[in-house]
Chain A
Amino acid sequence: MKETNHLGKVKKGKETIILNIIAYMFCSIIALMCLIPFIMIIAGSFSSEEAIVANGFSLLPQDFSLEAYKTVFKDPIVVVRGYATTIILTITGVALGLLLQTMTAYVLARKDFEWRNFFSFFFYFTTLFSGGLVPTYILYTRTLNLQDNYLALMLPLLFSVYNLLIMKSYISAIPESLIDAAKIDGCGEIRTLFQVVVPLIKPALATVGLFIGLAYWNDWYNAMLYIKSETKYPLQYFLYQKVNNIEAYKKMIASQAVSGDIISAMSLPTQTLKLALTIVVTGPVILAFPFVQKYFVQGITIGAVKG
């Protein structure tokens, strides 16, 4: 008996049942193992610092307290500005980065391009060897003079060889015949790329776009290195600063480096703050997730594009 599944027809039988059992169980277990720690983080972020320090994590908030969130949102304007900066940066970065990477990957995937292996190596080599932080820092701040400039946040993450090669492998999966057909029809490379290839690699675009977006969203390192004005802080940097500063400061005091008379940092919630920070940063992304997911749900029928 045949059963229509979203992937097309398949012979139904006990194999399908077995597969379903395995699949549902496997995915449920993993999903649960991923969910539970996150619930603990949410619960922890709504707990009081003392409870967390004394008892560790739990599934429900202990000694319910909004202290951590209050600390995070103490300066709501700064937080909002951080969000705005990060969102604009992410959207722009994804648009440009995706364009750049897709275009490059397309060329590298073209089998009639003799030099494609050379260039693949050219790009890949940069992931093996690196000069380290110092030369990169000098490049951005001295040579290019991008100190305190949004470009210093945008450029480092714009192009990633990892993403490039993934995209290349997706494009390679498209049958050569389609591209030849487009060529015969008189399409130039750009048109072939945008009108023939792009519609067929929507899942790939979604994936790489997602990766680029996440990279921008989570980035605080570049902000730490290059940004000085508070108004330009992306969200992650601003929040991580809050937490790391208190931690480092406490360590300073403890090591006799600094007079212990300065009390202000003592009663600040560090553990719960870290948790609240995770939620504040992750929240918007998880909410945006469903929109990206529709590309992973439906398969592509290449036949439909031929026409």
Chain B
Amino acid sequence: MQKTGFKSFMKKLYKYRVYLLMLAPAIIYTLIFSYYPMTGIVMAFKKYNYAGGIWGSPWNGLENFRFFFMSGQAGTVTRNTVLYNIMFIVAGTATQIAVAVFLTEIHNKFFRKVSQSLMFLPYFISWVIVGVMAFNIFSSDYGFLNQLIKSFGGKSISFYTKPEVWPLILLFFNIWKGVGYGSVMYLAAIMGIDTSIYEAAAIDGANVFQRIFRVTIPSIMPTVIILLLMNIGGIFKGNFDMFYNLVGTNGLLFNYTDVIDTLAFRALISSNDFGMSAAIGAFQSVLCFITILFANKMVSLYDKDYTLF
């Protein structure tokens, strides 16, 4: 019995030899640069010291994970991380698809090229500068918004002490920063649609909206779903740069804006405990893994071809 199994495996190896050869460089690369360092994740379960290094340091079980749960913030930051990511994914994807569709439908080449280039600009602005700009807008004395309000006779609002508005502010900045980069992917997908399908639709008498919703969007579904899945796979990982630079160390806002990554940063900045930071990473990774397995399974029930793996 086993021999047959082995034999058929070897047969398959031979059958797929060209494919495997073409995959070989990527496989080697991934083994060396991703899987080999991945073993370092054991640090999450060890009391790391320089002398022992990664492998020689003593084990300490789940001790490295305890600080996160003892901080009293574990639930809050986890909830925040997930909710923010869901918001970002949904709103971001919708905006980017909308932009991509609109850009395709617009006649004027010049307008298309220029607006697309402009939309890409925020990608180049680092979150540090965005943080400064945000402060320039929302600051209570000389911030742009408050100056506007005051010129209309109103009283200035202190945004940085009002946690409730921050999810919106953060959402706005997140969309703004990613719309150019993100829409390119959907744009490329739309560009890959065979124009003969459009002609067929035209013959059938479709108007513009029908064309968008019956042809364009369904045709780019594979790309949309892949991107959605990849984003969902990161749902427990917060965008540290954004949160850190926009919120700062403003404890008043933390209930609404603190995410796992910023909490871990504050907790470990003075001790630089490698084991604990590895533990947080492992915690996030495991949760992401479970989520994506589930999501991928859901998609496979819908259409096997759209799955991530």
Direct contact of A and B (CB under 8 A): yes
A contact residues vs B (CB 8 Å cutoff): 2, 5-11, 13, 15-16, 19-20, 22-24, 26-28, 30-35, 37-38, 40-41, 55-57, 100-101, 103-104, 106-107, 110, 113-115, 117-124, 126-132, 134-136, 138-139, 155-156, 158-159, 162, 164-166, 168-170, 172-175, 188-190, 200-201, 203-204, 206-207, 210-211, 214, 218, 271, 274-275, 278, 281-282, 285-286, 289-290, 293, 295-303
A119 CA to B201 CA in the complex, in Å?
37
Per the bound structure, the CA–CA distance linking A32 and B176 in Å amounts to 11
Residues of A near B105 (CB, < 8 A) are 5, 7, 19-20, 23
A7 to B189 alpha-carbon distance, docked (Å): 14
B116: chain A residues within 8 A (beta carbon):
293, 296
11 contacts between A and B (CB under 8 A): A15-B208, A26-B102, A57-B133, A110-B19, A120-B308, A131-B40, A135-B54, A200-B192, A204-B192, A206-B188, A300-B195
Taking CB atoms, residues of chain B closer than 8 Å to A8 are: 195, 198-199, 202
Bound form: Cα–Cα A101–B212 in Å: 30
Interface bits B183-223 vs A (CB < 8 Å: 1, else 0):
01101111111111011011001111101100000010011
B109 touches A297 (CB 8 A): yes
Binding site for A on B (CB under 8 A): 12, 16, 18-19, 22-23, 25-27, 29-30, 32-41, 43, 54, 95, 98-99, 102-107, 109, 111-126, 128-130, 132-133, 136, 139, 142-144, 176, 179-181, 184-185, 187-196, 198-199, 201-202, 205-209, 211-212, 219, 222-223, 226-227, 230, 233-234, 274, 277-278, 281-282, 285, 288-289, 292, 305, 307-309
Known contacts A120-B309, A123-B26, A129-B285; A282 and B33 CB within 8 A of each other = no
Closest chain A residue to B189, Cβ basis: A170
CA distance A101 to B35 in the complex (A): 18
Contacting pair B211 A10 (CB below 8 A): yes
Decide: A37 and B16 in contact? CB cutoff 8 A. no
State whether B40 touches A26 (Cβ < 8 A): no
B126 and A165 form a contact (CB under 8 A): no
Give the contacting residue for B195; candidates A129, A210, A301; CB below 8 A: A301
Cα distance A33–B144 when bound, in Å?
15
Pair B192/A300 contact, Cβ less than 8 Å: yes
Q: Is the CB of B194 within 8 A of A300?
A: yes
Contact B184 A296 (CB under 8 A): yes
When A and B form their complex, what is the total count of cross-chain residue pairs whose Cβ atoms lie within 8 Å? 308
Contact assessment for A104 and B22 in the assembled complex, using a CB-CB cutoff below 8 Å: yes
Tell me whether B109 and A170 are in contact (CB under 8 A).
no
Q: Is the CB–CB distance between A169 and B226 below 8 Å?
A: yes
Asked whether B124 lies within 8 Å of A282 as measured between CB atoms, the reply is yes
- CB proximity of A217 to chain B, nearest CB, Å: 9
A101 to chain B, nearest CB (A): 8
Residue from A5, A16, A165 within 8 A of B226 (CB atoms): A165
- Other 14 A-B pairs with CB < 8 A, given A11-B202, A128-B285: A2-B202, A7-B198, A19-B105, A20-B105, A31-B114, A37-B121, A128-B289, A129-B285, A131-B38, A165-B308, A170-B192, A207-B187, A274-B128, A301-B194
Complexed CA–CA distance, A278 and B179 (Å): 19
| Contact call A128/B195, Cβ cutoff below 8 A | no
Q: Is the CB of A35 within 8 A of B19?
A: no
Contact A11 B205 (CB under 8 A): yes
B207 touches A303 (CB 8 A): no
**Which chain B positions have C-beta within 8 A of A100?**
25-26, 29
Q: Are A34 and B305 in contact (CB under 8 A)?
A: no
Which A residues are in CB contact (< 8 Å) with B207? 10-11, 13, 15-16
